[in-house]
């Protein structure tokens, strides 16, 4: 398995982490999505993600749509405990609207 380093022009998503799986699509309609592999390194200063990629795959291009998914075996639980505080922040100068917020809270001891 080879690796590839992807550099993004904007800040990386706050929830991306090592162990997540990266995908890409060179299809303008996003129908043909290919799994690249597991993320092995992240540099938030340089906005780079290093991920595994099968040598037989066509490499993503500058116009590819890149996405990632969380590892289901690790990220399956909601918040635990009796109290949670959330803060939503929009660093963009463009107009944005928060449509909906939901939660799943589990009491950790009873």
Tokens encoding 85: 């505080």
Domain ranges of the chain: 2-69
Residue 51: predicted pLDDT: 95
According to DSSP, the β-strands at 105-106 and 79-80 are parallel
**Cβ atoms of 78 and 103 closer than 8 Å:** yes
Q: What is the pLDDT of residues 40-52, one digit of tens each?
A: 999 999 999 999 9
Q: How confident is the model at residue 80 (pLDDT cuts 50, 70, 90)?
A: low
Give 3-state DSSP helix, strand, coil % of the chain, rounded to 5.
0, 35, 65
């Amino acid at each position: 398995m080879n690796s590839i380093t992807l550099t993004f022009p904007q800040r990386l998503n706050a929830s991306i982490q090592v162990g997540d799986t990266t995908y890409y699509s060179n299809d303008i309609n996003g129908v043909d999505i290919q799994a690249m592999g597991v993320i092995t390194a992240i540099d938030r200063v340089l906005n780079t993600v290093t991920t595994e990629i099968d040598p037989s795959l066509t490499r993503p291009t500058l116009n590819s749509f890149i996405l990632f998914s969380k590892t289901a075996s690790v990220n399956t639980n909601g918040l635990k405990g009796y109290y949670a505080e959330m803060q939503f922040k929009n660093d963009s100068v463009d107009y944005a609207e928060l449509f909906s917020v939901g939660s799943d809270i589990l009491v950790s001891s009873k």
